[in-house]
Amino acid sequence: MNALRIHLEFRHLRRLGIAMGLALSVQAQAGAALTVYAAMGYDQHVTQAFTQATGIPVDLIHLSTGPLLARVQAEGAHPQWDVLWFDGNLPMRNFASRKMLACGWRPDVSYTPQGRALLPADACYFPIGVTYAGVMLENTARLAAAAQPRTWNDLLAPALRGKVGMDNPAISGPTYPFVAGMLQHLGQAPAQAWFERLKGNGLKVYPTNSVTLRALQYGQIDVAIVQSSAALGFAKGKSDLRIVAAPPSAELPSDVAIGAQVHGKTLDDARRFVAFVLSPAGQRAALEGDPSADSNDQPLLKGIEPLPTLRALHVEQALALDPAVWGRREPRVVSWFTTHVAR
């Protein structure tokens, strides 16, 4: 009897343990965090607002664009992310062509004409706002009026020898669209010749926006070619800095996407996240979250006004890049730039 009682009690405890394990598993699934890989300066502010509004926890992995894209590439067929969010529809199109993104679902939002033009037909990713991949930020206190550039060709003038700097597209993800924009605008051979002449005129290549802007601040250069949002944030309140969006200015949309591997409740949560980012509350959080840089973008939703800082940006000619073309060419273009310009 004692042995039978022990056996029955063991079976009871085992069933209880299985039931408790299942309950804990269901509970864990119900409270599982949505994993967001993001490279936006305001992403933490937006994800916190999303969790506060919905109760859905978010595990935010914040990296700059280059390292984030490298991490996604390294994870490959075993992604650890549910949602991607960064500047650049060129890599997004690459991920979509590799069947890495969930496509076909659309949130119910009203885009501006510019936003509709940037929305892909297959709905694999969604534009949030737009900046420009390369504008000139000039120190007018150190440059004579005649030397202050207005066009891209002005940067080749002898008066600017050694005084121009830009980011490295091999490190700074948002810089590649600037290089691609020049290639699309001028044609491959003329654009490569232009970059080589710029190098011959003493171009300085820095890793990222922050380093290039620091070089401008400390007088190592007098003209910085950087992303428009970074230029606007850095120039705010500085009367000796002027932004010139020389034509053409390559559009650089920020995009958010859901992974193709995401299913069930996590997919529902991911869609709620995308819808929130594109809602007035999400847009408000984005505009508040990083006024020194990424919040200085042009919203793409009707009824959402940009920050007042955008009044300093006058884009004469916006250039839209075909993401299917230039996304595929990125490795080859970056390799050429590294060999012929950055070194």
Q: Over the stretch 156-182, which tens digit does the pLDDT of each residue have?
A: 999 999 999 999 999 998 899 999 999
Cα separations (Å) of 210 from 213, 233, 234, 253? 5, 11, 9, 20
Q: Do domains 28-130+254-306 and 135-250+317-342 have the same CATH topology?
A: yes
Q: Which CATH number fits the domain 135-250+317-342, given the four candidates 3.90.45.10, 3.30.60.50, 2.40.10.220, 3.40.190.10?
A: 3.40.190.10
d(CA 44, CA 67): 17
For residue 337, the model assigns a pLDDT of: 98
Looking at the predicted structure, is the pLDDT value of residue 88 above 70? yes
User: Per this entry, what is the length of the chain?
Assistant: 343
> What b-and-e string marks burial along 143-159, b requiring 16 or more CB atoms within 10 Å of the CB?
beeebbbeebebbbeee
- Higher-scoring residue by pLDDT: 29, 230: 230
200 has pLDDT over 90: yes
Percentage of the residues of the chain whose pLDDT score is greater than 90: 90
Give, in order, the Cα–Cα distances in Å from 201 to each of 135, 164, 168, 196, 209.
19, 9, 17, 9, 21
Q: What's the mean per-residue pLDDT of the chain? A: 92
More confident residue, 149 or 28: 149
pLDDT of residue 278: 98
Q: Which superfamily does 28-130+254-306 belong to?
A: Periplasmic binding protein-like II (3.40.190.10)
Does 5 have pLDDT greater than 70?
no
Band of the pLDDT at 92, cuts 50, 70, 90? very high
Residue % of the chain over a pLDDT of 70: 91
Q: What is the mean pLDDT of residues 193-211?
A: 97
pLDDT category, 31, cuts 50, 70, 90?
low
pTM: 0.88
Q: When comparing pLDDT for 7 and 200, which is higher?
A: 200
How large is the average pLDDT for residues 265-281?
98
Residues 70-83 have pLDDT tens digits of 999 999 999 999 99
Residue 102: name the closest of 258, 272, 226, 284 by CA: 258
For residues 84 and 39, what is the distance between their CA atoms, to the nearest angstrom? 9
Domain boundaries, the chain: 28-130+254-306, 135-250+317-342
Q: Indicate whether 291 pLDDT > 80.
A: yes
| pLDDT tier at 301, thresholds 50, 70, 90 | very high
Task: Indicate the pLDDT class of residue 289, thresholds 50, 70 and 90.
Answer: very high
pLDDT at residue 237, as a whole number: 93
What pLDDT does 17 receive? 43
pLDDT digits (tens, 9 = 90+) for 106-142: 999 999 999 999 999 999 999 999 999 999 999 999 9
Answer whether residue 15 shows pLDDT above 90. no
Mean pLDDT, residues 238-263 taken together: 97
**If we measure between CA atoms, which residue out of 341, 39, 317, 332 comes closest to residue 180?**
332
At residue 246, does pLDDT exceed 90? Answer: yes
> Given this model, what pLDDT does residue 258 score?
98
Average pLDDT over residues 276-300: 97
Q: What's the pLDDT at 8? A: 36
pLDDT in tens, 57-70: 999 999 999 999 99
The 10 Å Cβ neighbour count of residue 217 is: 14
Residue 19 has a pLDDT of 39
Tokens 């850095």 identify what position?
Answer: 234
